[in-house]
């Protein structure tokens, strides 16, 4: 059956389950010990290439996570110590395997949220979150902000629902140019496709991403977490040296 027809006939959750089954059934082809995915906790002979520019050693053959997902998971375990703390967590645009791992931790009060994703627990608009002020200790927002029309509103909402001393962890695709590209004339999906390379993007972030978050009242630290590890471990875990984790806190709420 052609893919567009399958999309119409099968509910999103069923398609996701079928996709997961397909990945699982193929993952044995890559059995080995060269690389290790900390999210699905399996070893393989290689990670797979991924992306328009075909990054090598990017995609886990079993759980289909990328460099940024593995890096964030390690950071959460090793720096946030999320397996040992009682935390209220909001996970925007949840990646299925990350959601599965977080939801399974009994010490977390976990919610996932998205505008359209069938795997998210709450259907929300990031520009108008339905949660009370100061609800969450930790918010994960990976590769989401570029897809939100009003970035300022979204960051203000994230700041509002974050508890005192809470942390907002952000990841974004950053382009080499210094300034973020935003073209007000690109209003249709086709125009956005032409300008940003993706029809559902509203900007193309440059190296000023952290400054843009800071402009909305956060203190921001860009953490190159992959670089903090030995080279052989970076390779074995497929962490990708370009990935940064932006740790954002309220200035008034920072831990002394």
> Residues of 148-180 as b/e, b for ≥16 C-beta within 10 angstroms?
beebebbbebbbebbbeebbbbbbbbbbeeeeb
Q: Which is nearer to Zn ion, 63 or 138 (CB)?
A: 63
CB of 236 to Zn ion, least distance (A): 13
CB of 70 to Zn ion, least distance (A): 8
CB of 37 to Zn ion, least distance (A): 3
The dihedrals phi and psi of 110, each to the nearest 5 degrees, come to -105, 135
**What's the CA gap between 231 and 219, in Å, rounded?**
30
Q: Which is nearer to Zn ion, 183 or 235 (CB)?
A: 235
CB of 38 to Zn ion, least distance (A): 8
Q: Which is nearer to Zn ion, 37 or 126 (CB)?
A: 37
**What's the CA gap between 82 and 100, in Å, rounded?**
14
Q: Which is nearer to Zn ion, 55 or 163 (CB)?
A: 55
CB of 172 to Zn ion, least distance (A): 22
**What's the CA gap between 136 and 162, in Å, rounded?**
5
Per CB under 5 A, residues contacting Zn ion are 37, 39-40, 60, 62-63
3-class DSSP state of 60:
coil
3-class DSSP state of 237:
helix
Q: Find, among 45, 52, 47, the residue nearest to 66 by Cα.
A: 47
Q: Which is nearer to Zn ion, 60 or 72 (CB)?
A: 60
């Amino acid at each position: 059956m052609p893919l567009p027809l399958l999309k119409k006939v099968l509910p999103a959750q069923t398609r996701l389950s079928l996709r997961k089954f397909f990945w699982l059934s193929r993952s044995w082809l890559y059995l080995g010990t060269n690389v290790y995915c900390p999210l699905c906790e399996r070893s393989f002979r290689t990670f797979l290439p991924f992306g328009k520019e075909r990054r090598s050693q990017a995609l886990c053959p079993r759980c289909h996570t990328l460099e940024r997902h593995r890096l964030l998971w390690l950071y959460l375990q090793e720096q946030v110590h999320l397996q040992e703390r009682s935390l209220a967590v909001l996970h925007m645009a949840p990646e299925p395997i990350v959601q599965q791992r977080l939801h399974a931790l009994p010490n977390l009060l976990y919610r996932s949220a998205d505008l359209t994703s069938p795997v998210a627990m709450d259907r929300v608009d990031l520009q108008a979150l339905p949660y009370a002020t100061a609800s969450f200790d930790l918010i994960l927002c990976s590769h989401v902000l570029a897809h939100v029309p009003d970035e300022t509103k979204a960051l203000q909402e994230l700041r509002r629902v974050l508890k005192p001393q809470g942390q907002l962890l952000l990841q974004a695709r950053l382009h080499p140019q210094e300034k973020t590209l935003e073209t007000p004339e690109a209003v249709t999906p086709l125009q956005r496709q032409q300008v940003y390379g993706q029809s559902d993007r509203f900007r193309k972030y440059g190296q000023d991403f952290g400054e843009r978050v800071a402009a909305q009242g956060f203190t921001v630290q860009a953490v190159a977490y992959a670089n903090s590890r030995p080279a052989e471990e970076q390779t074995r875990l497929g962490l990708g040296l370009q990935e940064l984790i932006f740790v954002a806190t309220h200035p008034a709420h920072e831990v002394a």
